[in-house]
Amino acid sequence: MTQTIEPGNPEAPTTPAATTPDNHASGAAAGTVPAALKRRIPKYSDLAPLMQFKKPEFSREARLRRASTIWDLRDIAKRRTPQAPFDYTDGAAEAEITLRRARQAFLDIEFRPGILRDVSKVDLGTQILGKPSLLPVGIAPTGFTRMMQSEGEYAGSRAAAAAGIPYTLSTMGTASIEDVAAAAPDGRNWFQLYLWTDRDRSLELIERAARAGNDTLMVTVDTAVAGARLRDVRNGMTIPPALTLKTVLDASYRPAWWFNFLTHEPLTFASLSRYTGTVADLINSMFDPTLTFEDLDWLRETWKGKLVVKGIQTVEDARKVVDHGADGIILSNHGGRQLDRAPIPFHLLPEVTAALRKDHSDAAVILDTGIMSGADIIAALALGADFTLIGRAYLYGLMAGGRAGVDRAIQILKTDMVRTMALLGVSRISELNPDHVRLLGR
């Protein structure tokens, strides 16, 4: 039988060719070393274009430019921030299982890109709670923020305003409602509320938020009691930080943080003028374990703007708070800082979205917890979120470089989002859908 061999097939069998003088001649020619492969002494004119030695840069701007991911900002933040405030930001409850699972959930996905789409222009703009946002992410409420870095809420609110995204001030924030509004007068400011047992005090905060121009009230409902944040316990975290032998030694490695802390105004809070004690004591004095849906009804009657409920962790509760007048829900387990082994918001997202749509609800679905990249945000939007919030991700930037660090964190996330959408073949947020993401192993 005759064997047919296709030209150029690298797997085709070979047979030795007859040895002839011509074959020897051709073999010798094939063995000639090309000029480009001969060794030679390099000329300076060849080396000069390759020598790009740069003067080392140690400025804050250079340091932030070198950060390509939120994790890079975290590394910088850890080097520049004393252990107690860094761990307050970085840590979670008990064994921190919930936080690890929340971040792992974003890793355990597969993107499903579309090809041959025009993605020369990617638009990240969206609508949330009746107003536009230039990015599908806002800044979540964080407590004691000026303890992480002296610019605190002022840096966060100004960076958010510059980026065209919402900023949320916490009841436990270290700047007043009025001062934050004055610092970012053109920004979209939201206020986060813990409903206290003292309803008059809660009402006072609500009225102040309204007068300061906050259009959205975010009530947190997953804090009947404080979670067991063991890093804070071990660090003896107090407000303000105590000058013990341990903190003094820690300060010796981070003089810039202490200089900023000691040369700025003492910490004050949006909800109280002065407090001394542990974090757990403060939280337990503020949180109300008697809250019910009737309190949410009271809040809905009292607050005339948009009302969102943060801390939703089941489908049933998502439906209930919408039935009680919420304009939006925030799927959140408090960053893993309350109940360890709590449900993972990213895993809940498809089911909650489907349930609310089945009820013909137009309530906004916002996702919080675990976001560390723009790709995480795009995955959440594809699975049904209308919007997302970041807490730690922006705080790492704050600790790394103040306002400039928050700007850098937002820029990193924006770059991630644009690139991810373009590679998915998507040019607008509205084009994202569940077909773009597959949850591995679920």
> Which 3 state secondary structure label does DSSP give 219?
strand
Pairs from 263-266 (Cβ < 8 Å, separation ≥ 24): 264/146, 264/150, 266/240
Cα separation of 198 and 206, whole Å? 13
Sign (positive/negative) of CA torsion 337, 338, 340, 343? Answer: negative
Euclidean distance between the first and final Cα of the chain, in Å?
Answer: 53
Tokens for 71, please give them.
Answer: 């994790």
Side-chain half-sphere of 237: how many Cα atoms within 13 Å?
A: 24
DSSP-derived secondary structure letter, 314: S
Q: Which of 334, 347, 360, 436 is catalytic?
A: 334
Cα separation of 372 and 433, whole Å? 21
Tokens for 170, please give them.
Answer: 């916490």
Q: For this structure, is 264 an active site residue?
A: no
DSSP string, 356-391: HHHTT---EEEE-SS--SHHHHHHHHHTT-SEEEES
Cα separation of 342 and 351, whole Å? 16
Annotated catalytic sites, by residue?
Answer: 334
